[in-house]
Amino acid sequence: MSKRILIVDDENYIRLLLHRTLEELELEGVEIHFAEDGVVGLEKARALRPELMLLDVMMPRMDGLQVCRAVRRDPDLVGTHVVILTAKGQAPDLAPDEAPHEYLTKPFDPDQIIARAAEVLGIDLDFEI
């Protein structure tokens, strides 16, 4: 079964940027899914059980921290590695069992994102970054 990445961000271009950044992983059979707010993001997370979830913080309806908390508490989603994409200084204090596995600071470096994603998914990229 192919590996899945879920990108949750209300900004079109950020979703597009992340897609473009990670699209090379699609060549390795990785599925990339999208959600445009927290509520849809959580639904899709539960439905898809992605290996990697990239979460924006400020989103309508349900913000990234709430989504993160819900995902981390969901026993079905223990296999999901949650990355919160945050601006500098926005990292809130969360309890260890509610916190994301890691934070990546915006504006992010595409090379860094794909490198981390490949690492999390256990994929060896055969090209030089």
What residues line the site for other proteins (CB under 8 A)?
A: 11, 13-14, 17, 20-21, 58, 87-89, 106-111, 127
C-beta of 21 vs 80, nearer to other proteins: 21
C-beta of 97 vs 128, nearer to other proteins: 128
Q: Which residue has the tokens 């969360």?
A: 94
Shortest spacing between CB 20 and other proteins, in angstroms:
5
Rounded to whole angstroms, what are the CA distances from 83 to 1, 37, 86, 104? Answer: 22, 16, 9, 7
How far is the C-alpha of 83 from the C-alpha of 30, rounded, in Å? 17
How far is the C-alpha of 17 from the C-alpha of 58, rounded, in Å? 17
Q: Which residues pair with 126 in a beta bridge?
A: none
Shortest spacing between CB 21 and other proteins, in angstroms:
6
Shortest spacing between CB 90 and other proteins, in angstroms:
9
C-beta of 80 vs 86, nearer to other proteins: 86
